[in-house]
Amino acid sequence: MDTDRRTVLGAGAALAVAAATGARGAQPVARAAPRNYRRIATEEAWAIPEQREAIAAIARSTWNNLDVRNLRGGSSGAAGGPMGATLSALGRRMLDVDGERLELMDRDGVAMHLLSLTSPGVQLFAAATAVSMAKLANDRMAEVIARHPTRYGGLASFAPQDPAAAVKEMERAVRELKLNGFIVNSHTNNEYLDQEKYWPILEAAEALDSALYIHPRSPADTMAAPFSDYNMHAAIWGFQAETGTHAMRIILSGVLDRFPRLKIVLGHMGESIPYNLWRADHWYHYRRGIQQSSLQPSDVFKRNFLITTSGVEDTRVLDYCLKWLGPDRIMWAIDYPYEESAPATRFMNEAPIPDADKEKIFHLNAERLFRLPAA
């Protein structure tokens, strides 16, 4: 594992202080211990063997869309891609809920992981397979939470390929399994949730008072060509472009006029949407006659959306998002195991914001939104 850049910079700063004071043999400057916040990480990936095996079969096929290319590159957790014979360290961490994951949580003072089936979830499968896989994954998640009720919550999967079956599974997941919300991995068959055929899913989430986390996947085939080079289809750019596009379709379509109490969560500091809200509002009013939503984009975003910090450990970005949304609409996340626990924890520990805001971001907002047990 590479040396953490901030550790190197911190050590360099300590040496510079010693040199400046001329203190021979001076001891390193001691850091104050971080406050003992309760920490709930809200975008933490998890897998079951059956999902991994089914995805591996897809990766061995001749299908060559961007998601499958990404899986062949190894993101499914198999050495050399899904066709590899042995699990990589990433894959082992994805499947684990009883060993190393808990050890790292204890080491870094993380109280809970909110688990979700790793992207692309069940959304690459044929409808019947997706329905059964979502049900199996939700059953397994409930079993994990039952084993570790103080350490894990979970977001339920469903199969958008079959909206009626999706609604049935959403109701079962919340009412019977007591899961804490829902996860969808952006588009399904190159379609988005603003389309009327998917409105029953949005209606069910609102009626169940359960948040819907829209998680990234690679861009849809309809927008794939510019992302096919330079690894642009993945986290470096394509994930946020795809997921942000999905969210903006929902915002601009007016569908949230129909479901005003629906809560939607976006990771990665809002998938770039907060940085475009001023311009979106400007053009919403400039072209008001053709807009579908009754509210300007920033008002929809501030009413219906929350964001998490997953995979963006930059205090400048955090400060900007706090100015737009306030501390009640931001939650902490690690994005484990795609991101490491220690740097994500240190980022929020050291963020130059009031302790009251840290308490909201670290755990209070997640407890409220996902109905997670308080300490």
Start-to-end Cα distance in the chain: 33
302, 256 contact by CB (below 8 A): no
Q: How far apart are CA 62 and CA 201, in angstroms?
A: 31
Q: How far apart are CA 331 and CA 333, in angstroms?
A: 7
| Residue 352 preceded by cis peptide, ω within 30 | no
Q: How far apart are CA 373 and CA 87, in angstroms?
A: 34
- CA 180, 186, 187, 188 dihedral sign is negative
Q: How far apart are CA 104 and CA 107, in angstroms?
A: 5
List the catalytic residue out of 67, 108, 194, 335: 335
98 token code pair: 């009883």
Residue 297, helix vs strand vs coil? helix
Q: How far apart are CA 361 and CA 247, in angstroms?
A: 22
- CA 254, 259, 261, 267 dihedral sign is negative
Query: What are the two backbone dihedrals, phi and then psi, of residue 162, each rounded to the nearest 5 degrees?
Result: -130, 90
Q: How far apart are CA 40 and CA 332, in angstroms?
A: 7
Residue 318, helix vs strand vs coil? helix
- CA 210, 77, 147, 364 dihedral sign is negative
Query: What are the two backbone dihedrals, phi and then psi, of residue 79, each rounded to the nearest 5 degrees?
Result: -60, 125
197, 250 contact by CB (below 8 A): no
Helix (H) or strand (E) holding 131: helix 127-147
Q: Which residues, 6 or more positions from 153, have their beta carbon under 8 angstroms from its beta carbon? A: 40, 112, 113, 114, 115, 145, 179, 180, 370, 372
Q: What single DSSP character describes residue 75?
A: I
Reply yes or no on whether 335 is catalytic: yes
Residue 173 one-letter amino acid: A
Which residues are annotated as catalytic?
335
